[in-house]
Amino acid sequence: MSTENKKKNVKKVTQSSKAKKASSNGAKTYRKKTNDTKSVNKSASKKYTKKPAKATKPEIKKPPIKIAFLGGLNEIGKNLTVFECENDIIILDCGMAFPDGDMLGVDLVIPDFSYIEQNKDRVKGIVITHGHEDHIGGLPYLLAKVNVPIYGTRLTVGLIENKLKEHSLDKVSLHAVDAGKSVKLGCFDVELIHVNHSIPDSVGVAIHSPAGTIVHTGDFKIDCTPMSGGMINLSRFAQLGDSSVLALLADSTNASRPGFTATEQTVADSFDTLFRRARHSRIIIATFASNISRVQQIINCAKKFDRKVAFSGRSMVNYMNVAKELGYIDVPENIIIDIDALKDYPMEKIVLVTTGSQGEPMSALSRMAYSDHRKVSVGAGDFIIISANPIPGNERTVGNVVDELLKRGCEVVHESMYEVHVSGHACQEELKILHSLVKPKYFIPVHGEQKHLRKHMDLALSLGMKRSDIFIGDIGKVVELSENEMKEVASVPAGKVFVDGLGVGDVGSIVLRDRKHLSQDGLIIIVASLDVYDGHVISGPDIVSRGFVYVRESEGLLDEVKQLSLDILEDCAHRNIHEWGAIKNKIKDEVAKLILQRTRRSPMILPILMEV
């Protein structure tokens, strides 16, 4: 075949291949179009053809959780909160409060435990956030009625154990739990979270329940340079916030204070300055017995300036013994001496750490101020530091103690003069940080008086929370929380129970009213003996006055009272009135009128009638 023919054949084959390829591409295009059309038709048919819906699992509704406040709201002290979910109850803290000036003769105030007693079979345990008296002081009185297990950190449990021994309660189940660990109590899983406060081993809690997670801060502040225990675990609060928190209950004590709470290190610097200033004096420092970190600072400073340290006050000695035994305080060898050994050392070599920073009448510092202390007499040459803020309501008693100390020639330094005390509670900026980390659905300010709670509410509102998602509670109030709503429900029994000596609850408002009456206007007792048959006076009436007038200077007035009482008794006998209640009321009313006219006073009048 010629070369020319070969080229023609190759050309034909090439053209034929191109034609086939084009034909194939056309088929593909046609098929694609056809498929697209089918797809459109299919999707169009979907629009008009209803298929049965797939069965979905029913959504499980979470149960609600109730929170009852039996103490710690609209007051300072006796903190006690009850959490209730799915028929299980747990209790957070059980504190006491100091009596105010109107509670004459009362030693301390505890919550009303009626609601807990009524539901004691449902209580799974008590969790304690830290070892201050306003959080553990009520435990002996509750455990005498309801014996349930107690959980807290090691120092907290040690302090509770010491307290229960004083009340002869040795059958209580105590459990030490480290911060970062959890405790399973019924349907609750309670997680302990390390926080900074004025006592080591303080915790907040995350209460994980079927209803959701509740975060309670306990008493806290953010201290980047604490004396012991490390900084507050902010990362854990942030993790909880990222995983959804149903409600936040937060400390409101310093909600009205702007900025940040100062670190404990500032107190150490102030002590250093004051110890130098008092180098020729005996130093006496009053602080809370539970402020173990503060006592550690005092011991460190005493060592630096070559002084011995002694403790005064039963609670101070008890706290220091527990802290030392558990390793929460570092005491150099031979620095602690017994209070009886004070006389063996020069005054400039002594530091005496004592209770009484709140001016309590029976405290060691008060007894020193009023020359009533058996082992310590104060005067010129004593340098006294009050290392605590007065609790609201105690300002006057603290002021009185300071005045008495100054009268005796002591030099007195207190919080407003130097930085000898910093608060253990968070100020506004710290509260904002915690709110922003936790990001709660609902918020309940706790631990404070009404002004503190309201200020904390304002702070939450400024961070974007709705007013409807904030609850301002009160003692006895109960709030119910769920995914969809927060509402107040029926209240529970709550109030104040007074402890007076060995009596618990036997002193009530009527007794206090009588005590107040007696303290203000005194007492008149009218004693008479009556004939059992006709009611006439056989002897008396005799008049006894106590706290009303000085008898020798008021004989005329008392003679008038005696004659009036006699006239009333004889008149009742003549009118055949023998009911003692009616006779006594007649004497009280008429004698009260006479005394009010003569003196403008209203003493308590107590008629005592005897039949002979």
Q: Residue 38 corresponds to which tokens in the numbers above? A: 């089918």
Amino acid at 214: I
Q: What is the DSSP letter of 221?
A: B
Which long-range contacts does 324-333 make (Cβ < 8 Å, 24+ apart)?
325/158, 326/154, 326/155, 326/158, 328/155, 328/200, 328/201, 328/228, 328/292, 329/292, 329/295, 329/296, 329/299, 330/296, 330/299, 331/299, 332/299, 332/303
Q: Please state, in angstroms and rounded to a whole number, the distance separating the CA atoms of residues 561 and 272.
A: 66
Given a contact cutoff of 8 angstroms between Cβ atoms, the answer to whether 239 and 206 are in contact is no
CA angle 214, 220, 225 (to 5 degrees): 135
Given a contact cutoff of 8 angstroms between Cβ atoms, the answer to whether 155 and 178 are in contact is no
**Other CB atoms within 10 A of residue 236 CB:** 18
- Burial letters 18-39, b for 16+ CB under 10 A, else e: eeeeeeeeeeeeeeeeeeeeee
* Sequence-distant (≥ 6) Cβ neighbours of residue 410 within 8 angstroms: 378, 379, 380, 382, 383, 384
Q: Give the 3-state secondary structure of 566-587.
A: HHHHHHHHHCCCCCHHHHHHHH
Bridge partners of 206, per DSSP, are: 191, 215
Within 13 Å of residue 336, how many CA atoms lie on the same side as its CB?
Answer: 15
Tell me which of 425, 435, 452, 456 is the catalytic residue. Answer: 425
Tell me which of 93, 201, 251, 500 is the catalytic residue. Answer: 251
Residue 439: burial class (beta carbons within 10 Å; 0-12, 13-18, 19+): middle
In the block, tokens 């509750």 appear at 142
Given a contact cutoff of 8 angstroms between Cβ atoms, the answer to whether 528 and 539 are in contact is yes
- Beta strand pairing call for 440-446 and 108-111: unpaired
208 catalytic, yes or no? Answer: no
Shortest CA distance to 447 belongs to which of 455, 459, 437?
455
Given a contact cutoff of 8 angstroms between Cβ atoms, the answer to whether 248 and 444 are in contact is yes
* Sequence-distant (≥ 6) Cβ neighbours of residue 225 within 8 angstroms: 263, 264, 265
In the block, tokens 């995983």 appear at 243
Shortest CA distance to 413 belongs to which of 261, 291, 288, 283?
283
578 catalytic, yes or no? Answer: no
As annotated, the active-site residues are 251, 425
